[in-house]
Structure formats: structure tokens, C-alpha cells
Amino acid sequence: MRPSLREVLITILLALLIFVAVQFTVESRVVEGISMEPNLHTGERVLVIKASYWFGEPQRGDVIIFDSPQDQSRTLIKRVIALPGEMVEIEDGTVYITDVNGDTFSLDEPYINEDPHYTYGPQAVPEDEYFVLGDNRNHSTDSHIWGTLPDENVIGRAWLIYWPLSDWQLISGYSN
């Protein structure tokens, strides 16, 4: 029995709707460089959930994909360290955050490759911007070099390493 023209059109329409929904909510990116080692490595492919921040904002510890503030043709991957309205300072290998309530705390960062060998700040993070760092602090071009990241540059949250298959894992965010 041959399918009717109506059934074929409905199937094509459903396939098109699914394709468009996936294109707007998920995309694949390739990790470039060593700035996120030991957690992400050059050549790994990650799934990015673009819909992650449709109804909320990035949180401290999220690994995000964004358009570089220095070169909009490049996308980067870094970890959110400080949120809008906070103050960030890096001293003696430790990141300190002063939150919007005036409370200061150091970040517990089990995900970094090594403590940073530089100092930074104190610097306020403007509204609608984020302070982001690579996990390989001493080998990362990030907010400690080019400043804060505008919210409109954020593409989405890195969610899953899917290639190579031997590296398959969910990408963890950390909160403090």
C-alpha cells in the first residue's frame, strides 16, 4: 500500500520541524587549544545547549561557549567565574569573589590544571557581563587578559563531550 500525498507531506513537515528545533537548541563545537585542560582537550567535540540560558543566566562554574570579544569570527570555551555585579580578584594563586551582598570568599576549584601564576584586580564585573577563565589558567587567553564577557556573546552551555567516543562524558559545572 502506497502512502497518500497527505501522509508524505505530514512526514516531511514533521522532519522539517524537528530539524529546525534541533538547530535552534543544540549545536556541535570543536575544542581548540589547551586553555581548558585537564577537562577538555584539542579536537574533542562537544554538544552545546543553546537553549540553556533562554530562561536564566549563566551560573558560576558553568562551562560556556561564546563569541570571542576580541574576534567575533572565533568561538571560545571557558568557565564562568564571576557574575554581573560581583568583584573578582586573583592573588597568590587563589580566586576571590566579592558577591553583590559584600561577602568575600575564595573559590574551591578542583577542576583547574594548576593555580594561576598571575595577579588580577580587584575588578568589578559590569551588569550583563561575566568574568570567565580557562581551567588551564596559566595557558589561557581569557577575562584576566581581555576583560569581561558581554552577555550577548554567550552562545550556550557546553553539555557533553561526544567525540572521540573514548572521551564521552557530561561536562560538569561547579558551584561555590
Which residues are part of the catalytic machinery?
Answer: 35, 78
Residue 116's SS3 state is coil
In sequence order, what DSSP letters do the residues of 32-84 get, joined into one string? Answer: -SSTTTTTS-TT-EEEEEGGGGSSS---TT-EEEEE-SS-TT-EEEEEEEE-T
Per-residue DSSP letter, 154: E
Q: Which helix (H) or strand (E) holds 23?
A: helix 5-25
User: What amino acid occupies position 130?
Assistant: Y
Angle at 169 between CA 166 and CA 174, to 5 degrees: 145
